[in-house]
Structure 1
Amino acid sequence: MKTTAQNRATARPLSPLLLLRLALRDLRGGLHGFGIFLACIALGVAAITGVASLSRSLEAGLAAQGRVILGGDVAFETVQSEWTAPEEKFLRAHGQLSKAATLRAMARVADGKKGNGGEATLIEIKAVDGAYPLVGDVTIAPEQPLSEAFSERDGFAGIVADTELLTRLGLAIGDPVRIGDKLFILRGTLSHEPDHLAGGLGFGPRVLMSEAALRSTSLLAPGALVHWLYRLALSPSGSGPNTSVVDSRDLDQFVAETRAAFPQAGWEIRTRDNISPQFSRNLERFTQFLTLVGLTSLLIGGVGVANAIHGFVARKKPVIATLKALGAPGSAVFTLMLIEVMLITLLGTMIGGLAGSALPFAAPAVATLLPFPIEPGFYPAALGGGMVYGLLTALIFSLGPLGRAHDVPVAALFRDTIDTRPSWPRPRYLLFTSVAAAILISLLFLFSPDRRVTLLFLTAMLGSFLLLRGVALLIMIATRRLPHSRRLTGRLALANIGRPGAPTPSIVLSLGLGLTLLVALTLIDGNLHDALEHGVPRQAPSLFFIGIQHNEAAAFEQFLHKEAPNGKVELVPMLRGRIVSLNGRPAESVTPTPETAWALQGDRGITFADATPPGSSLVAGAWWPHDYQGPPLVSMEAEIAQGLGLSLGDRLTVNVLGREIEAKIANLRKVNWQNFGINFVLVFSPATFAGAPATDLATLTLPGGVADPQSPLLTRELARQFPGVTSLRVKDALDAINNAVSQLAIAIRGMSAIALLAAILVLSGALAAGQQARLRHAVILKVLGATRSRLLVILLLEYGFLGLATALFGILAGSLAASLIVTKLMHLSFVWIWQRALAAAGVALALTLILGLLGTWRILGQKPAPFLRDL
């Protein structure tokens, strides 16, 4: 008779096809024990695929509606200065052109006969010409053409506005409204404005009027902060009216030709394919953030995968031993089980991928949260990416446990219990695991828009895994070495935590990761809202005033001191300028850091001063003398300068009102942006802009802060005496930003809920995996006289101690992660909101107790006799 070794030596190698047939045959028996495995994989893949699919749907929606949202094929924007005749002639030769102006102003109720001032509010004006809109339709209630609504009747031009204006001022259709120094008649309300998304975040209701009506007001005084928009619907023939849509290549070629023809124009150019570069970048980063949170859920689920594989190998020990007895080598057994696991993983990733792909089709629910057009569709790249992440994660967490199947002895056929001491799998399986992890990391970096964020995420995840593993080990060692309690229940509870084969590592790892993420996201969310609602400094301005003509500045300041004698007034001159070159290099060729790129995008506010502005402190260089009349000097914010690669003595050129001015960097300042005061990146020496038509920007700080009840009364009187000045309440601006942040927070909370659900699944799986051992212990204790109530107390103490220890780690690690993200990435002050952190810890403790008791409730009622007969 041949020995086992001889059988192995003479056995034919198992072909991959045969192994696949055996795996499929074995799986016909069902997926018992893989429920949590499937749920963990499907949940993580659904989160990743759903985020990617929704992002692609937003991009597709913007692309499909890009021409309507932008108002044409290409849009050119300038600040303050209108186009020259040659520029406008050039555009009109290439298609149909529409011109618009946008600015902020004040609207107030007016008596139709006397024009007496009433309540006032901030509005967002858009003045358009007769060609507007080039694409799409404006819908007005009551229904009427836009030209009719704007027409002048009885000496008064008409306007249409958002219904919010009617609510704020208590108006009705046909009522007079004073804007600037001119009286208008409200002719209708805006039901639909095709290009409203292109306007960005607004702080007041939209008001549409004709360009001619705007020019008849005092709002276009020199230095007024007005944005001029030129929308062009290109004609494929290059001239004449637009008859069809040009393709993207012709569009890009036209933009390149326009830049070459007018290199010094200073336009901000947007096309229908790239409506808002800043929005696209923000969407990309937010998608990356949510994808990483989804990947965290997947990695948390990986612990559940490992638990399931451990149970799978334990259940298959007789099968493994039989195959080995028949001559199958350990590598063939490993391959067979790996095929089975990956087939199940493929099923889980398909379920999760299809569920995530269906998210964009929930348009009615999603559209209420996102004010952007969504183009639902099936995106194979998003599905494939989610499935690849799921397969790799399952592979990483499966190879190690499956590698132990290689060394299951044939003796397992003859003994129910063999040596169960944990051992490392063979080096080849550790190598396979490392290769799979390297591939996953490489894919993350390859498709990451911000590799620094990816590196931080991977470092945090690896550190969390190692720390939690160490915490679990310390808990087990501590429970073994603690002095024995006099109370039997306490002694047994601690013994269960530190015993060999206890689920302590899995419980601590799964619950700790989920809780760390939950605490971190909760604190980030709380700090964002706290910064907007309660983080306003006590000395923050209550009101901002824009568009103060320089010859009115003294009278305006006197007015503020009279109306608010206890208020603090700050008045600063302001112009608009655009950085066009750095040390002779065009700004377009400079690669700034992501945090400072905004400084090179479009026009920015600049000022001049003879002393260091309030809220700033010099960190390098010296301020110029009070009576300095030499070549232009500039003071620059230190972090912006560093991000642009600039230092003391370097030179930058700005374009102000069409004139290019080169200045030397004389000093660098650190600016406290969080004080909500008047701060500028660039502050020039006063002689640089001598005679330039600058306007003034002012702030008023009232004793009651941003919510001072005097603000509305002051705004009303200001609109009456200075109709050309725009006032903005800081509280209104914070409310608008807070609403936008709240919409983003919904997505963050949803992803954190998925991560917590993954942790719950893993926790329940870890508890279920140890049920057989718990059953044996419970029966022995019952034979020795333990009652059900005593067993219940032991379980409560055991799970309560584990939950409390893990909750403490989660609070510390989550708070540390949140503080780093808030301070280093968001550049905000971090506040430890202990109520939220403790609430999250309480949830973790409750979950551990509930799941622990639910998982062992059947054990408490188990009778000893049937179990003892099977021993």
Structure 2
Amino acid sequence: MNTFLMRLKTALRLSAREMRGGLAGFYIFLACIALGTAAIAAVNSVSTSITKSIASQGQSLLGGDLRFELTNREANDREKAFLSEFGTVSHSTGLRSMARLPDGSDQSLVEVKAVDIVYPLYGSFVAAPDKPLADLLQKQGDAYGAVAAPLLLDRLGMKLGDSLLIGSTKLVITGTITTEPDAVSEGFGFAPRLLTSGEALAASGLIQTGSLVEQVYKIKLKPGAPSLKIIQDRAKAEFPDAGWSIRTSDRAAPNLTANITRFSQFLTLVGLTALIVGGVGVANAVRAFLDSKRSVIATLKCLGAPASVVVMVYLFQIMMIAGLGIALGLAIGAVAPWIASYYLAQFLPIPADFAIYPRSLLLALMFGGLTTLAFSVMPLGHAREVPATALFREQGFETRRLPSWPYVLVAALAIAALAGLAIVTAYDRRLAIFFLIAMAASFVVLRLVAYGIAALARRSPRLPSPALRLAVGNIHRPGALTPSVILSLGLGLALLVTLSMIDGNLRNNLTGTLSEKAPNFFFVDIQRDQLDGFRQVVQQQAPQGQIVEVPMLRGRITALNGQDIAKISVPPQGRWVLRGDRGITYAKDVPKNATVTEGQWWAPDYKGEPLVSFSAQEASDLGLKIGDTVTVNVLGRNLTAKIANFRKVDWQSLSINFVMVFSPNAFAGAPHAWLATLTEPNASPQQEAAILRSVTKAFPTITSVRVKDALDMVDALVGQLAVAIRAAAAIALISSVLVLSGALAAGNRGRTHDAVVLKTLGATRPMLIRAFTYEYLLLGLATAIFALLAGSVAGWYVVSQIMKLPASFLPGVAVSTVALALVTTIGIGLAGTWRVLGQKAAPVLREL
């Protein structure tokens, strides 16, 4: 024990002395570790900041301590009495409608929210001008006051004091919305907000039988009220068929929180890619550092220093330098939420105050430390096992074989710990496992690609150009840069190609394939007595258009096979079906855009127990089979139906599709509205505008949704997400460039000897420049081809197999990838070797 402590103390002392020489040779090492650690720390810190802010501001974001939501109906007297028992209740109503100018010249889809006089229960509603909300919404003559999002005024060319119509009610715009405290809990909206009073909405005539309306009741608990859980349990026990969705202030925006967590996990994995790519740079830097210290290592061994002491000396140095890089990355990650608050404050409730999130920083610290250990142990093992005589005699380490088993074991354990940490901390562990498998496979494939390129170069015919012949020889000679270039640049480029392919195909589908197949309009909330008149209006404006109409209700799945969905473990890909309300319908015949894949459709005059046809893919995600039962709550009543068949649904068509189609007898006598689509591929923008005006003018209560507008909004959202994803991918690419630079710097010693010998034998500088340019050109081209193949396959898989969308090859991405690879390899390669070409011959020849 004393001997070990003495050796440890000696190693620490020698490490500290050698560190006095500075960080020469370790700047790329520092950058690789700092960059990857910073990415992981920043992503997780920002995510934690947002989720904790949502939790801490839960009452304001939810608009109450509890939120009860009903679809298509108001609470009855007994339910209202139950809610009022616990404190002050605020009632709001939300729906989509058409807001139109009084002269009918223009209109826009809006998200209407009608509130009562006690709104908001928590937080502050701020408008411009800054007046009490009750004053802004009060009735003025024959018109009611309303506050609108600035976007609505921009769309309709309005200003404060102007009027618009919703349904049969006239509204006067008295202000614009600055802060709506509970907007986050309301969810994402495709249209600008229009806030008015409950009296104004009641007078509009928009709330009719079967209309898609959300009735929300928020409670501010009085002192001494029961706990949130007790109230929830009582609500479920006393009103089992109410069908209301209950949310508490500690989970104010669960969908937003879950989406942020998923997205942060994805970006964390991209950051981990950057860190692992940087690990290759760590290994190169450690190997080059130990190579430069070969005379010191030889001297220590000759003076009797045990091999373990030599290893500890340089392990301490490496970990100290890594600690500096990790600390730099953690510092960047720590200030990231504070910086992000200035950009995200208008979208998300992220605080502007500086705060540190230890768990996020600890996670990044562990990833950085394990990566450093995993990639530095093997070079240390090689240094330990080389005898002193070999170090004096040779120029570097022989790394063709593995070091002794303890070093291999430590590296393997570090890699296993790294993988385990990624899986344990992941929101979706299956995704993390797939990522790690893909990462391991990429390393193996890239190594095989490097070997294949070297083998092809070795077997190439004799070339007439000396420079080209020298370039090909450099690709396969011992100590060639081929493995380093392919491994370092290939992974970053492949990731960039994958993300570019996904982004490009999504945009092509949104603006091309999907928009061509999609209907021009969706029309919602059509009453039965309006159907004939609606058809006539549409056919007058679009005589060649195809109109499809189906009955539509809203229902929430409450149980599967009699078991409460809250107690069922559902895979992530199927959870959306059980989240919130779903559109449902009934039909005598199989829908034209679907085919039955299993089971039998019911007869047109079927009168037996309620049956349901379920979408095949979603049924598979939920683990359902023919004969299982599904319980849905519609208009406050629970209905249980048996699954009769599965359908293959073409969601890509954007036509009318439903997860569940019931037998007609299931909803006999239930009040409902109708949903319709209009498809007219040849309609011009002017004709679409005329259709919209005619329908809105003739039927103010019908909501018209222009599909192109919705696709444009989704395309803008995809574009914003793509910026964040590409920024994360750029970090991985920068790590690749750093690793490439380090690999070239580490090989400069051998390049210097080669250049001096060749110049001594008569080679000119221009010839050597051409040779190096050809070499980097060939390596860059090979790397680009691999990245294109691997990235295209990965992008195709994600788009076609996961997103279930058409995927195609994008030539623009291919050209930019090849150009980026060539510019990077040739530029960095020549920059790194330019100094080598000017090296004087005498000092180098004396060392040979």
| Band the TM-score falls in, shorter-chain normalisation | over 0.9
Cα distance, 1:464 vs. partner?
0.6
1:665 to 621, 633, 643: 643
Confirm or deny: 8 A CA contact 1:807 1:844 kept in the other structure: yes
Equivalent position of 1:7 in the other structure = none
Confirm or deny: 8 A CA contact 2:90 2:118 kept in the other structure: yes
Q: Map of 1:449-468 to 2, 5 A cutoff?
A: 449-468=427-446
Once the two structures are superposed, residues 644-681 of structure 1 have per-residue CA deviations (whole angstroms, 9 ceiling, x without a partner) of: 22111112222211222221111100101110100001
Question: Which blocks of at least 5 consecutive residues in structure 1 are unaligned?
Answer: 1-9, 111-115, 240-249
Equivalent position of 2:611 in the other structure = 633
Once the two structures are superposed, residues 58-109 of structure 1 have per-residue CA deviations (whole angstroms, 9 ceiling, x without a partner) of: 1122223322221112211111111122221122121111000000111111
Confirm or deny: 8 A CA contact 1:321 1:408 kept in the other structure: no
Confirm or deny: 8 A CA contact 1:444 1:454 kept in the other structure: yes
Equivalent position of 2:210 in the other structure = 223
Equivalent position of 2:33 in the other structure = 41
Equivalent position of 1:118 in the other structure = 105
C-alpha RMSD of matched pairs (Å):
1.9
**Alpha carbons of structure 1 residues 417 and 201: separation in structure 2 relative to 1, 3 Å:** closer
Confirm or deny: 8 A CA contact 1:40 1:761 kept in the other structure: yes
Q: Among all aligned residue pairs of Structure 1 and Structure 2, give the percentage whose two residues are the same amino acid.
A: 46
**Alpha carbons of structure 1 residues 844 and 724: separation in structure 2 relative to 1, 3 Å:** same
Cα distance, 1:255 vs. partner?
2.8
Q: What amino acid does structure 1 have at the position aligned with 2:114?
A: A
1:541 aligns with 2:533: no
1:178 aligns with 2:156: no
Equivalent position of 1:196 in the other structure = 183
Moved more, 458-467 or 364-373: 364-373
Confirm or deny: 8 A CA contact 2:382 2:399 kept in the other structure: no
Separation in structure 1 between the aligned mates of residue 399 and residue 144 of structure 2, nearest angstrom = 88
Moved more, 33-42 or 415-424: 415-424
**Alpha carbons of structure 1 residues 855 and 370: separation in structure 2 relative to 1, 3 Å:** farther
Cα distance, 1:419 vs. partner?
7.5
Cα distance, 1:145 vs. partner?
2.4
Cα distance, 1:414 vs. partner?
4.3
1:782 to 754, 759, 780: 759
Give the TM-score, by structure 1 length.
0.94
Equivalent position of 1:237 in the other structure = 224
1:700 aligns with 2:692: no
Equivalent position of 1:269 in the other structure = 246
Q: Map of 1:350-749 to 2, 5 A cutoff?
A: 350-363=327-340, 365-367=342-344, 370-374=347-351, 376-412=354-390, 414-415=392-393, 417=395, 420=398, 422-704=400-682, 708-749=685-726
2:732 to 731, 755, 764: 755
Confirm or deny: 8 A CA contact 1:318 1:412 kept in the other structure: no
Moved more, 192-201 or 297-306: 192-201
Once the two structures are superposed, residues 342-397 of structure 1 have per-residue CA deviations (whole angstroms, 9 ceiling, x without a partner) of: 11111111111111111111146532785443454201111111011011011111
Confirm or deny: 8 A CA contact 2:451 2:483 kept in the other structure: yes
Q: What amino acid does structure 2 have at the position aligned with 1:95?
A: G
2:807 to 823, 830, 849: 830
Confirm or deny: 8 A CA contact 2:93 2:114 kept in the other structure: yes
Equivalent position of 2:8 in the other structure = 16
**Alpha carbons of structure 1 residues 278 and 12: separation in structure 2 relative to 1, 3 Å:** closer
Once the two structures are superposed, residues 489-526 of structure 1 have per-residue CA deviations (whole angstroms, 9 ceiling, x without a partner) of: 11111111111111211111001111111111111222
Once the two structures are superposed, residues 167-217 of structure 1 have per-residue CA deviations (whole angstroms, 9 ceiling, x without a partner) of: 222323333322102222222222322222222222222111111221122
2:43 to 21, 31, 51: 51
Confirm or deny: 8 A CA contact 2:541 2:690 kept in the other structure: no
The secondary structure found in structure 2 opposite 1:536 is helix
Equivalent position of 2:789 in the other structure = 812
Moved more, 138-147 or 647-656: 138-147
Once the two structures are superposed, residues 20-53 of structure 1 have per-residue CA deviations (whole angstroms, 9 ceiling, x without a partner) of: 2222222122222111111100000000000001
Equivalent position of 2:84 in the other structure = 92
Separation in structure 2 between the aligned mates of residue 860 and residue 332 of structure 1, nearest angstrom = 39
1:345 to 322, 327, 333: 322
**Alpha carbons of structure 1 residues 538 and 234: separation in structure 2 relative to 1, 3 Å:** same
1:279 to 229, 246, 256: 256
Separation in structure 2 between the aligned mates of residue 825 and residue 370 of structure 1, nearest angstrom = 28
Separation in structure 1 between the aligned mates of residue 347 and residue 148 of structure 2, nearest angstrom = 23
Moved more, 225-234 or 182-191: 182-191
Separation in structure 2 between the aligned mates of residue 227 and residue 858 of structure 1, nearest angstrom = 71
1:162 to 149, 160, 167: 149
Q: What amino acid does structure 1 have at the position aligned with 2:738?
A: L
**Alpha carbons of structure 1 residues 18 and 255: separation in structure 2 relative to 1, 3 Å:** farther
The secondary structure found in structure 2 opposite 1:667 is strand
Once the two structures are superposed, residues 209-247 of structure 1 have per-residue CA deviations (whole angstroms, 9 ceiling, x without a partner) of: 1112211221111111000111111123229xxxxxxxx
Separation in structure 2 between the aligned mates of residue 189 and residue 537 of structure 1, nearest angstrom = 33
Q: Map of 1:104-143 to 2, 5 A cutoff?
A: 104-110=96-102, 116-143=103-130
Equivalent position of 1:3 in the other structure = none
1:260 aligns with 2:276: no
Q: What amino acid does structure 1 have at the position aligned with 2:469?
A: R
**Alpha carbons of structure 1 residues 527 and 711: separation in structure 2 relative to 1, 3 Å:** same
**Alpha carbons of structure 1 residues 714 and 324: separation in structure 2 relative to 1, 3 Å:** same
Separation in structure 2 between the aligned mates of residue 364 and residue 585 of structure 1, nearest angstrom = 43
Confirm or deny: 8 A CA contact 2:291 2:397 kept in the other structure: no
Confirm or deny: 8 A CA contact 1:523 1:815 kept in the other structure: yes
Cα distance, 1:789 vs. partner?
0.8
Once the two structures are superposed, residues 701-729 of structure 1 have per-residue CA deviations (whole angstroms, 9 ceiling, x without a partner) of: 12236x74322221111111001100011
**Alpha carbons of structure 1 residues 539 and 527: separation in structure 2 relative to 1, 3 Å:** closer
The secondary structure found in structure 1 opposite 2:729 is helix
Q: What amino acid does structure 1 have at the position aligned with 2:712?
A: D
Question: Which blocks of at least 5 consecutive residues in structure 2 are unaligned?
Answer: none
Q: What amino acid does structure 2 have at the position aligned with 1:682?
A: M
Q: What amino acid does structure 2 have at the position aligned with 1:507?
A: V
Moved more, 654-663 or 252-261: 252-261
Confirm or deny: 8 A CA contact 2:142 2:170 kept in the other structure: no
Separation in structure 2 between the aligned mates of residue 150 and residue 669 of structure 1, nearest angstrom = 48
The secondary structure found in structure 2 opposite 1:15 is helix
Equivalent position of 1:840 in the other structure = 817
Cα distance, 1:561 vs. partner?
1.3
Confirm or deny: 8 A CA contact 1:650 1:664 kept in the other structure: yes
Confirm or deny: 8 A CA contact 2:519 2:679 kept in the other structure: yes
Confirm or deny: 8 A CA contact 1:542 1:708 kept in the other structure: no
The secondary structure found in structure 2 opposite 1:736 is helix
Equivalent position of 1:72 in the other structure = 64
Separation in structure 1 between the aligned mates of residue 362 and residue 51 of structure 2, nearest angstrom = 18
Confirm or deny: 8 A CA contact 1:811 1:838 kept in the other structure: no
Confirm or deny: 8 A CA contact 1:14 1:332 kept in the other structure: no
Moved more, 632-641 or 290-299: 632-641
Q: What amino acid does structure 2 have at the position aligned with 1:144?
A: K
Moved more, 579-588 or 351-360: 579-588
Q: What amino acid does structure 2 have at the position aligned with 1:799?
A: Y
Confirm or deny: 8 A CA contact 2:334 2:356 kept in the other structure: yes
Q: What amino acid does structure 2 have at the position aligned with 1:674?
A: Q
Once the two structures are superposed, residues 819-841 of structure 1 have per-residue CA deviations (whole angstroms, 9 ceiling, x without a partner) of: 22223333322222121132022
**Alpha carbons of structure 1 residues 397 and 583: separation in structure 2 relative to 1, 3 Å:** same
Separation in structure 1 between the aligned mates of residue 645 and residue 272 of structure 2, nearest angstrom = 45
Separation in structure 1 between the aligned mates of residue 391 and residue 38 of structure 2, nearest angstrom = 41
The secondary structure found in structure 2 opposite 1:535 is helix
Once the two structures are superposed, residues 770-817 of structure 1 have per-residue CA deviations (whole angstroms, 9 ceiling, x without a partner) of: 111111111111111111111111011111011101110011111111
